[in-house]
Structures are given as C-alpha cells and as structure tokens.
Amino acid sequence: MAWATIACNGALVPSISLRFSLLNPLFTPRRISTVHPLPRITICVSAVKRSPKRLKYAAPRLDKGDGMLYVKVDSLGADTWKLEPVIELLKNGAVGAIPTDTVYAIVCDMKSHSAIERLRRIKDIETSKPLSILCHSFRDIDTYTMGFPRGNAQGQTNMFRAVKHCLPGPYTFILAASKELPKQCTKYGATTKYASRKTVGVRMPDDAICQAILEKLDSPLVCTSVKWPTQDEWMIDPVIIADIYEPEGLNFVVDGGIRMADPSTVVAMTGTYPTIIRQGKGPKLDWMVGKDDEGSATPAG
C-alpha cells in the first residue's frame, strides 16, 4: 500500500493510492458534488544540496570517471583508519585537499612531477612559484633541507633550539634546500627543464589528521593553501572545497571540519636574522625580526 501527502487548501491530508482504492472492497469513494469546484492542489518540492561523490574504499584509481573520494575524519584523529584509501591515492599520484593546523591545503606526492604539475594546474600556479612541503618530523626537515642554524661560540643564536619550542605549529620556515629535495620542474613553452631548488618552505603542522597522513605515507607532501579560484580569500569549508575543485581535477578531500581563515606565519631563515615574510597565525617571537620584503619570496602556501 502506498501513501502520499498533498496540500489541500493549506492543510496536509493523506491521499490513498489508486491501487488501494481499486483492490480494497471496503473502500467506497465519496461522491463529489459538481456544484462546487475541486480544491486546488499544491505540490511542494524541496531542493537538496548536492553532496560530494563518494568512491568505494577498495582499489583506488585515477581514471577520469572515478569521481572524488570524500572522507570525513574526526578532528582529533580518533578514526584515522579511514585515511588508508587516501594514502593509496597519494602513492598513485593523486592530488587532494587535507586539513592542517591553519587552513586547508591541496597536497600531492613530493616525488611525483606529474602530480605536482596537476596541482599547479588546479590552483593555476606558475611553475616559477615555489611550493612548501609538509613534514612529519625534524628528521624530514634534516633530510630535505640544510637544517636550522645551530649557533656558535661568537654568540650566534641556536635557531634549532628556538624552533623546537614552536614546532609542530603554525609556521612555515624557509630554509636552504639539500640535494635530497626533488628537482623543480619548469616549463618554457614546449621545453621542460629540471633544476635544483636553493630554498624550500617547510611546515610541521600541529594537526592530528595531517600528522596521521604524513606518518602513514612516510614522506613529505608538496602543499599550497586552498583559496577561492577567483578571489584572494581562504576556503575553510571542506564541502565547498569539494564542490568547487572537483571539476578542476581534485581526486579527494579529507573533511576535518571547518577551519579558521588564518594561514601560517612565514619566516625566512636564510639571512642574517629570522625574518617574518608573512604574519599569520603563529605569533612573532622575540628572536624574529619584522617583515622585510627586500630579496625575499613568499612560498605558495
């Protein structure tokens, strides 16, 4: 038996299906007077917000018709087992959005040139623009950079000891790159060149979801903060990120809740003094100097 509800003169009344009225011998239809017109029937249809596509957790692929993987994870990292398909996608060259301790970031495998090229295309970032990397620990920073200045007997500040008090945290430190850092792919028309990077911005986010992904992947991720495609504003809602960037080619989104529109503080460690290039969520510490744009370049993130 099927039932439907209609609005009749402003009141909701149940109507019995045709099948019920024909098959039930106890049902006697009312006689409708021809003197009075039938009441006007109004059918109301409510719109439902489109939710991002979900993929099955098994056998992740990057075919065009696969859609987007959307995984909602507890912000405190209580169910990080859900991240396994995300790890497999990243290993296979996927590009996706994950939460950090500041804003959401679009990330990919640091060693995949094709994935980095797709990330740049999705965000419309020039090949000359430097990208930061997300690190799980100081071991990653020591591997892919020349490290923090350790100080000397002449009174130079031990930056490594100072930085240990603010990492993990909302800072991006620009350091001299080591030979282990993959070369940067630059395109000039039809010509492709690979060159070593002199500097790199490193992040060690204080975020349970981000740290779980980096730990499971056991490798840093190239990253850039998520902004509106046509506006210089941060995107902090993962559902909106999925809706906007899925058509651009994003493979997955990890939903860790809505974040604050507050990026990391960028500090250059390649000069005489640690210099703030961009003031963000991380507070200015006493061993940092004020913003000085001369000879500096802010990484895309």
What's the confidence (pLDDT) of residue 232? Answer: 84
- C-beta separation of 301 from 224 below 8 A: yes
3-state SS, 94-116, equals CCEEECCCCCCEEEEECCCHHHH
What's the confidence (pLDDT) of residue 272? Answer: 84
Calculate mean pLDDT across residues 262-283.
94
What's the confidence (pLDDT) of residue 59? Answer: 35
pLDDT tens for residues 171-204? Answer: 999 999 999 998 887 665 666 677 788 999 999 9
* Residue 90 main-chain phi, psi, to 5 deg: -60, -40
pLDDT tens for residues 120-167? Answer: 999 999 888 889 999 999 999 999 999 987 765 555 668 888 899 999
Average pLDDT score over the chain: 79
What's the confidence (pLDDT) of residue 63? Answer: 44
- Identify the band that residue 299 occupies on the pLDDT scale cut at 50, 70 and 90: low
What's the confidence (pLDDT) of residue 300? Answer: 53
Angle of helix 84-91 versus helix 208-217 axis, rounded to 10: 50
Q: In terms of pLDDT, which residue wins out, 71 or 187?
A: 71
Q: Is the pLDDT of residue 243 over 50?
A: yes
Calculate mean pLDDT across residues 104-126.
94
C-alpha distances out from residue 72 to 65, 78, 98, 208, 267, Å:
22, 11, 10, 13, 32
Q: What pTM was computed for the model?
A: 0.75
What's the confidence (pLDDT) of residue 65? Answer: 45
Q: Is the pLDDT of residue 91 over 50?
A: yes
- Identify the band that residue 36 occupies on the pLDDT scale cut at 50, 70 and 90: very low
Strands of the chain, DSSP E:
3-8, 11-16, 41-42, 69-72, 96-98, 105-109, 132-134, 171-176, 184-188, 191-195, 199-203, 221-225, 252-255, 265-268, 275-278
**Residue 85: both structure tokens together:** 């398909």
CA angle 140, 143, 145 (to 5 degrees): 100
pLDDT tens for residues 209-241? Answer: 999 999 999 999 999 999 998 888 999 999 999
Q: How many CB atoms lie within 10 A of CB 160?
A: 15
What's the confidence (pLDDT) of residue 156? Answer: 61
